[in-house]
A and B are shown apart, each in its own frame.
Chain A
Amino acid sequence: MTATLDATESLQQITQEESRPRAASWPRYIARKGGGALISLGMVVLLGFFAFRILPGDPAISMTRGRRVSAEQVDQLRKEFGLDQPLIIQFFHFVGGLFRGDLGTSYTFHRPVAELIGSHIGATLLLTGTAAVLSIILGLWLGQRAAWKRGSLFDKTQTGLALIFWSVPTFWLGLILLLLFGGFLQWFPTGGLVTPGSNETGIALVWDVIRHLVLPVVTMVAVVYAQYLMVMRASLLEEMTADYLTTARAKGLKEDLVRRRHAVPNALLPTVTLIFLTLGGLVGGAVTVETVFSWPGLGYLTFQALSAPDLPLLQGTFVVFSSIVIIMNFAADLVYRVLDPRLKAS
């Protein structure tokens, strides 16, 4: 939930850091940004491990809840999970496990966390990916139009709507849409990924998923598109007052062409970079939307892990979510580099 100012500031920040006339060569750039990403990943792993160890409570006892187990059996369980060893050794085991793809075993589901995450991440990517693409398209198009018709009713309405939607709590909007379209009007299903117990394949299956996808995606898009709209609008407004455009207009170019051929493409640069920066933040919104619509993704898993609390699972989803964002930010850095106008076009 970054403000427009925050977004443009972060871009200024990037350009400030790159203010040296000729930026470093590609390998050095990748090494620097990649190294930074790895350090962030490392910190995520550290935080993920130690934060949960602060929590009082013995995992071995959690797992044998309500059963008649002797003290020896609990000790046995502790040894099995390595819980009897000093924290540092446990940490090394954890990190080692990470490299092997082993994130521990879930308390609630008694299955490897990596397996649980693997089977749920697809649904989250589908939801956030679709929402991202649609909100980008919608936000950019509306933002560009609003900036062009600046001050008109269209502009005022769009800006107003964007601000309102940006102020809405995602879960509340989701619930209202669920009740209205899922319950009252019955246009869409009330939850899940597919109609349960059905055996569709091929096109019918795709159709079923799309039907289930509509409400959650609409909820996410409604709250997120506003950000892209505002950024695009602001960038374009700034662009349209630039000197070179005055020259173009003086040369006799039509306003329409000025806008389409010059202003918009140049305004797109900071916008696109910003999009990459904020994409990672979308996954956080997935938690509430997936909960409201029972969408079987990572967010849903996180919510389920919350109530136990299922520490290995929470740890795993935390690390995975953060990693996605770190990767997206690294991608943003690369994209910015690619689009950096100070590079001579090859």
Chain B
Amino acid sequence: MFFTPSGTTPSQTEFGARRGYRRVATAIALAAALTVPTLAASSAQATPIRSAADPADTVLKVATSADIDTLNPFTAILASSTGIMALQYESLTAYSAKDNSIVPGIASKWSTSKDGKTWTFTIPKGRVWSDGKPQTADDVAWTFDAIKKDPQLQQANGGLLESVKDVTAPDKQTVVLTLAAAQASNPGAELPIVPEHIWKDIKDPANFANDKNSVGSGPFTISSYSEGQSVVLKANKRFWRGAPKISGITYVYYKNTDAQVQALKTGEVDIIPANNLVAAQYNSLKGQTGITVNPGVGRRYTSLNMNSGAIDSTGAPLGDGNPVLKDVRVRTAIQEAIDNKTLFSKVLQGLGVQGQTEEPPVYPEYFGIDKKDMIPFDPKAANAQLDKAGYPKGADGIRTDKSGKPISLRLLGRSTDPTHAQMAEYIKPWLKDIGIDVTLTLESSNQVNDDSTLGKYDMYFTGFGIGPDPDFQLSINTCKSRPNADGSGALSESNWCSPEFDKLYKAQHTELDPDKRAALVKQAFGVIYKAAVNDVIWYASPLEAYRSDRFTGFDKQPAKNGVITSQNGYWGYYSATPVGTKSSGSTDASAATSAAFPAWATVLIVVVIVLILGLIVLLVVRRRRVTSDDRE
């Protein structure tokens, strides 16, 4: 093409050329050589490289895909992080593995005053934190006070303390909680108590990472955290119920569920926790040797929510919902046109329980609605009802609303949840059959939250995980739970209001008799059901799988058919028992990996890359100079 000559001797040329090619050949040989021993090394080991020195050094490896926002107990709100908090910090009371009933936690006993406003908890002597310092009532009082005083610390659990007026520790073994008003729910449940002697010296508690050698009271404490890769927990030998039987837990990140399944099969991980597997993956793990699957019973409902006329906290209209949904007859007709049974069997493949009210079947005392009140799948009745209500079908089969416009509703779903798109594929033709046109939009979780809070939807898929006490789920359906005009502020489930419901909410909130309260709770959920604002489709089974040839003895919650992970408590991991003496990896987690990619390694790689590229250029320059004389 376009070269000019320069000179060297032929013998140099030959030598140079041969050497150059040899270099290339060596490089390729090296690359190939690397793969051979790699193959040999890895295929030779079905089990990991190092054997355990001590059979008690067993670490349970949990596959996870959910991101962790923070390991700070005051600001962590994602389920993944709060789950870890539940392993590290106990609350005053706990929920039993047997049936989610309230049992002692940090407090060994408690009593309520006659008027229900004063709760007294007893902290027994002799209990210690994981670093050996004693647990006292001062820790409890400090935790409550810290949250009450600093708004930044209220992010995670501030809502739980709204009803608490005052907390005092008259002595080291007694805590007195004074409430603003009597309530049925135990105020000591669900609030993680932190060690005062650690946290009182921290200058900026809201931003404290809490991810290295944390001190806690639960069966496991955080040893280290490698963001995006792993969280390492070690067993708390000083746990008052007794040390766990495993030496630690490591959460391992896999963004890809298929990779998680492979990892379980190869033994890279020991357990895939709740709500990760989909039906096909779960079914493919059934019957594999060494692996046991546990469907569990879900405490999370999935529903189709309808915008019945969203308003903000001042009463002004919010968003752009289709006014036709303000009519309860239209909402009921829509619910009648959707066959939840088909969705349940086809999309969920039957792995769960069909939906009734928001309360999941795992809490039998609050679950269910009377058969006579249930809305059946009856498209004929739906059509008849819509005809009667004055929404005539047009020539194309689509009904027109009161102003003559054809009824077209928007359906909003999460792009990260494949079941939403799958359900929409069924809902569209069903609603077309009753004369309503549906368009689906999928957005990211945050965008769905934004739009639904601001009322910018007609229908959307939603869901919520419910704890043992239904009070919170009911509270987000009260008339008070409307957001501000900009979407901030209170959390409202359906942006719906009913004075009848509010009365029932107040009643169950203060009803101390458990049976009477259960009846009121069921009634309250029934009111929501009849309003047809939230069509609960199913409660998905959590679908867990674990290596039963490595670990066993997991306590489920509830005991009969519950889950191992994602519990209201720590029983599953706490009771994990290693099988035999096979080690599953490394040991003392206190010496564990720090940030996976240290800065010096990055710099080294950059330097190597620059060197290699420079080498290539030099090679070419030299070659060119050396041969150009022959070109005459």
Chain B, range 6-48, C-beta contacts under 8 Å to A: 6, 13-14, 17, 21, 24, 27-28, 31, 34-35, 38-39, 41-43, 46, 48
- Min distance, Cβ A328 to any Cβ of chain B, angstroms: 9
The answer on a CB contact under 8 Å between B606 and A61 is: no
Contacts of B572 in A (CB 8 A): none
Minimal Cβ-Cβ distance residue in A for B27: A137
The answer on a CB contact under 8 Å between B229 and A191 is: no
Minimal Cβ-Cβ distance residue in A for B261: A183
Contacts of A67 in B (CB 8 A): 77, 154-156, 158
Q: Does any Cβ of B come within 8 Å of A167's Cβ?
A: no
Q: Does any Cβ of B come within 8 Å of A108's Cβ?
A: yes
Q: Does any Cβ of B come within 8 Å of A73's Cβ?
A: yes
- Min distance, Cβ A234 to any Cβ of chain B, angstroms: 12
Given known contacts A121-B602, A196-B61, A197-B232, is B42 in contact with A187 (CB within 8 Å)?
A: yes
- Min distance, Cβ B586 to any Cβ of chain A, angstroms: 5
Given known contacts A239-B1, A266-B624, is B38 in contact with A211 (CB within 8 Å)?
A: yes
Mark B221-244 against chain A: 1 for CB-CB distance below 8 A, else 0.
000000111101000000000000
Contacts of B415 in A (CB 8 A): 307
* 9-residue interface stretch from B93-101, B106-114, B125-133, B484-492: B484-492
Q: Does any Cβ of B come within 8 Å of A277's Cβ?
A: no
Within 8 Å by CB of B228, from A110, A239, A253, A301, lies A301
- Min distance, Cβ A332 to any Cβ of chain B, angstroms: 10
- Min distance, Cβ B618 to any Cβ of chain A, angstroms: 9
Given known contacts A68-B154, A137-B24, A210-B38, is B256 in contact with A294 (CB within 8 Å)?
A: yes
The answer on a CB contact under 8 Å between B446 and A308 is: yes
Q: In the complex the two chains form, what is the Cα distance from A302 to B256 in whole Å? A: 15
The answer on a CB contact under 8 Å between A120 and B17 is: no
Minimal Cβ-Cβ distance residue in A for B48: A195
Contacts of B620 in A (CB 8 A): 265, 268-269, 272, 339
The answer on a CB contact under 8 Å between B450 and A61 is: yes
Q: Does any Cβ of B come within 8 Å of A35's Cβ?
A: no
* 9-residue interface stretch from B178-186, B526-534, B561-569, B590-598: B590-598
- Min distance, Cβ B553 to any Cβ of chain A, angstroms: 21
Contacts of A200 in B (CB 8 A): 49
Chain A, range 166-187, C-beta contacts under 8 Å to B: 175, 178-179, 182-183, 185-187
Within 8 Å by CB of B67, from A190, A195, A247, A304, lies A304
Contacts of A189 in B (CB 8 A): 42, 263, 266, 268
- Min distance, Cβ A175 to any Cβ of chain B, angstroms: 7
Chain A, range 124-172, C-beta contacts under 8 Å to B: 125-126, 129, 132-134, 136-138, 140-141
The answer on a CB contact under 8 Å between A342 and B2 is: yes
Given known contacts A64-B488, A67-B77, A261-B13, is B263 in contact with A191 (CB within 8 Å)?
A: yes
Within 8 Å by CB of B262, from A183, A266, A268, lies A183
Q: Does any Cβ of B come within 8 Å of A330's Cβ?
A: no
Q: Does any Cβ of B come within 8 Å of A207's Cβ?
A: yes
The answer on a CB contact under 8 Å between B3 and A341 is: yes
Within 8 Å by CB of B227, from A111, A269, A291, A293, lies A111
Q: Does any Cβ of A come within 8 Å of B316's Cβ?
A: no
Chain A, range 38-81, C-beta contacts under 8 Å to B: 57-58, 60-62, 64-71, 73-74
Q: In the complex the two chains form, what is the Cα distance from A90 to B17 in whole Å? A: 58
The answer on a CB contact under 8 Å between B623 and A265 is: yes
The answer on a CB contact under 8 Å between B449 and A342 is: no
Minimal Cβ-Cβ distance residue in B for A120: B597
Q: Which bracket fits the contact residues of B?
A: 35 or more
Contacts of A242 in B (CB 8 A): 1
Contacts of A122 in B (CB 8 A): 597-599, 601-602, 605
The answer on a CB contact under 8 Å between B34 and A210 is: yes
Q: Does any Cβ of B come within 8 Å of A248's Cβ?
A: yes
Given known contacts A108-B67, A183-B266, is B1 in contact with A133 (CB within 8 Å)?
A: no
Q: In the complex the two chains form, what is the Cα distance from A65 to B268 in whole Å? A: 35
Q: Does any Cβ of A come within 8 Å of B274's Cβ?
A: no
The answer on a CB contact under 8 Å between A195 and B268 is: yes
Contacts of B593 in A (CB 8 A): 194, 197-199
The answer on a CB contact under 8 Å between B49 and A204 is: yes
Minimal Cβ-Cβ distance residue in B for A295: B255
Contacts of A121 in B (CB 8 A): 602
- Min distance, Cβ B158 to any Cβ of chain A, angstroms: 6
Q: In the complex the two chains form, what is the Cα distance from A341 to B156 in whole Å? A: 67
The answer on a CB contact under 8 Å between B597 and A123 is: yes
The answer on a CB contact under 8 Å between A138 and B597 is: no
Given known contacts A62-B450, A137-B28, A178-B259, is B597 in contact with A193 (CB within 8 Å)?
A: yes
Chain A, range 298-346, C-beta contacts under 8 Å to B: 300-301, 303-304, 306-309, 331, 335, 338-339, 341-342, 344-345
Chain B, range 182-218, C-beta contacts under 8 Å to A: none
Minimal Cβ-Cβ distance residue in A for B588: A199
The answer on a CB contact under 8 Å between A186 and B43 is: yes
Contacts of B259 in A (CB 8 A): 178, 182, 190-191, 292-294
Contacts of B491 in A (CB 8 A): 66, 68
Contacts of B571 in A (CB 8 A): none
Q: Does any Cβ of A come within 8 Å of B59's Cβ?
A: yes
The answer on a CB contact under 8 Å between B612 and A71 is: no
* 9-residue interface stretch from B246-254, B334-342, B397-405, B499-507: B246-254
**Most chain A C-beta atoms within 10 Å of own C-beta, residue among B444, B446, B616:** B446
Contacts of B151 in A (CB 8 A): 73
Minimal Cβ-Cβ distance residue in A for B28: A137
Contacts of B595 in A (CB 8 A): 119
- Min distance, Cβ A323 to any Cβ of chain B, angstroms: 13
- Min distance, Cβ A282 to any Cβ of chain B, angstroms: 11
Contacts of B261 in A (CB 8 A): 183
The answer on a CB contact under 8 Å between B69 and A192 is: no
**Most chain A C-beta atoms within 10 Å of own C-beta, residue among B259, B415, B585, B628:** B259
Given known contacts A125-B605, A134-B31, A291-B256, is B623 in contact with A272 (CB within 8 Å)?
A: no
Minimal Cβ-Cβ distance residue in B for A59: B446
Q: Does any Cβ of A come within 8 Å of B70's Cβ?
A: yes
Q: In the complex the two chains form, what is the Cα distance from A343 to B86 in whole Å? A: 70
The answer on a CB contact under 8 Å between B254 and A192 is: yes
Q: Does any Cβ of B come within 8 Å of A26's Cβ?
A: no
Q: In the complex the two chains form, what is the Cα distance from A140 to B2 in whole Å? A: 21
Chain A, range 227-271, C-beta contacts under 8 Å to B: 238-239, 242, 244, 247-248, 253, 260-262, 265-266, 268-270
- Min distance, Cβ A239 to any Cβ of chain B, angstroms: 7
The answer on a CB contact under 8 Å between A182 and B262 is: yes
Given known contacts A129-B608, A341-B2, is B484 in contact with A71 (CB within 8 Å)?
A: yes
The answer on a CB contact under 8 Å between A294 and B253 is: yes
28 contacts between A and B (CB under 8 A): A57-B447, A65-B449, A67-B158, A71-B484, A71-B488, A108-B69, A109-B227, A120-B597, A137-B24, A141-B24, A178-B258, A190-B259, A191-B254, A195-B268, A197-B585, A197-B586, A197-B589, A197-B592, A198-B49, A207-B38, A248-B631, A276-B613, A291-B256, A296-B253, A304-B67, A304-B255, A309-B444, A342-B2
Question: 6 tightest CB-CB pairs across the interface, nearest first?
Answer: A122-B602, A197-B250, A345-B6, A183-B262, A265-B623, A190-B262
Contacts beyond the supplied A204-B49, A275-B616: 19 A-B pairs with Cβ under 8 Å: A69-B488, A109-B69, A110-B69, A119-B596, A122-B605, A132-B609, A134-B31, A179-B262, A182-B262, A198-B585, A207-B41, A261-B627, A266-B3, A269-B624, A276-B613, A294-B255, A303-B255, A307-B445, A344-B4
